[in-house]
Structure 1
Amino acid sequence: MIARTVHKLFTRTIRKPIILWDAAAHDEQPYFCMLVYQKSDPFAVKLLVPSHATGKVAEVVFARGLLIDGVDGPAGDGAVRVEPHIVDRDYTTLTLPLTRDGKEFFTERAPLLDFVTETCALVPSGRERPRVTAELDRWLAGVTA
């Protein structure tokens, strides 16, 4: 219990590797990606997606709530969409704004659930706003001092 509390106090970033497969060409090379969550930005999740063609890494930022909701049901109607795979419930479909019309991928559900669990242990869902307000108050106090 004490170790978990100490870990939570000092943990500021959660990183989770995930593998994405192109839904249109799932037999091709997968994308080895990284999900990132920062305590200082509790509403957002970053997904780092490397390009096979250029080697550059695209950063897709979206609401953590999309990930929380999308693991169990369709979520998102904007540039990012997260939903259970249409055939296999062990997978999740992600539509990301990597092309003009969006690019659809699928990934295993278990690592996403682990990531969501870890982020919610760090900043519980529904407790983001007080954290952001406190950070803003500290920043304003520093700027106006």
Structure 2
Amino acid sequence: MTTLLRRSLLLWDAADHDAKPYTATFIYRVCDPFAVRLLVPDHGTNKVAEVVFARVLLIDGFTAPTGDGAVRVEPHIVDRDYMTLTLPTTRDGKEFYTERRPLQEFVIDTCAVVPSGSERPRVNAELDRWLAEATL
């Protein structure tokens, strides 16, 4: 059974259309079914920012803007083939564009291993297993 999914994705800086794109990596772990991780490299420092946020933001963001906190996901305002991601990679957040199709494929793959809505029973079962081991 698949326990980890990775998908590379190009992100373009919304404030600098001519800048080199960022090759980011989405990660989904079955053991943490509510969350996705996005690793975003910084061209200037060669460091990588890890942004963890709810998978449901990706799912809902295809149809309407989602996210009131540090992360926001929404359809691109002009081009339906793209999505806009606002991420806390800077103090004020940074807006990126990415292609819709690879992002959709990643979400579909995550839902194939943990269907949306089935996360809570999976987490509860993991917690029950851990408690059983811890109390022996």
- Structure 2 gap ranges (5+): none
Verify: 1:77 aligned to 2:68, yes or no.
yes
Which of residues 74, 84, 91 is equivalent to 1:93? Answer: 84
Tell me the alpha carbon deviations over residues 38-58 of structure 1, each in whole angstroms, 9 at most, x when there is no partner: 000000000000010111111
Q: Which residue of 2 aligns with 1:41?
A: 32
In structure 1, C-alpha distance between the alignment counterparts of 2:121 and 2:132, rounded to whole Å:
16
Verify: 1:31 aligned to 2:22, yes or no.
yes
In the alignment, residue 75 of structure 1 is paired with which amino acid? Answer: T
In terms of fraction of residues, the more helix-rich structure is 1
Verify: 1:19 aligned to 2:15, yes or no.
no
In the alignment, residue 21 of structure 2 is paired with which amino acid? Answer: P
| Secondary structure of the structure 2 residue equivalent to 1:42 | coil
In the alignment, residue 102 of structure 1 is paired with which amino acid? Answer: G
In structure 2, C-alpha distance between the alignment counterparts of 1:138 and 1:49, rounded to whole Å:
34
- Structure 1 gap ranges (5+): 1-9
In the alignment, residue 63 of structure 2 is paired with which amino acid? Answer: D
Verify: 1:57 aligned to 2:48, yes or no.
yes
Question: TM-score, length-normalised on structure 1?
Answer: 0.93
Post-superposition shift, 1:73? 1.2
Q: Which residue of 2 aligns with 1:114?
A: 105
The percent identity for this pair of structures is 69
Q: Which residue of 2 aligns with 1:66?
A: 57
Pairs aligned (count) = 136
In structure 1, C-alpha distance between the alignment counterparts of 2:120 and 2:16, rounded to whole Å:
40
Query: What is the aligned-residue RMSD (CA, Å)?
Result: 0.5
Indicate if the aligned counterparts of 1:48 and 1:60 stay in contact, CA closer than 8 A.
yes
Q: Which residue of 1 aligns with 2:115?
A: 124
Tell me the alpha carbon deviations over residues 40-86 of structure 1, each in whole angstroms, 9 at most, x when there is no partner: 00000000000101111110000000000002211101000000000
Post-superposition shift, 1:96? 0.2
4+ long deviations beyond 6 Å: none
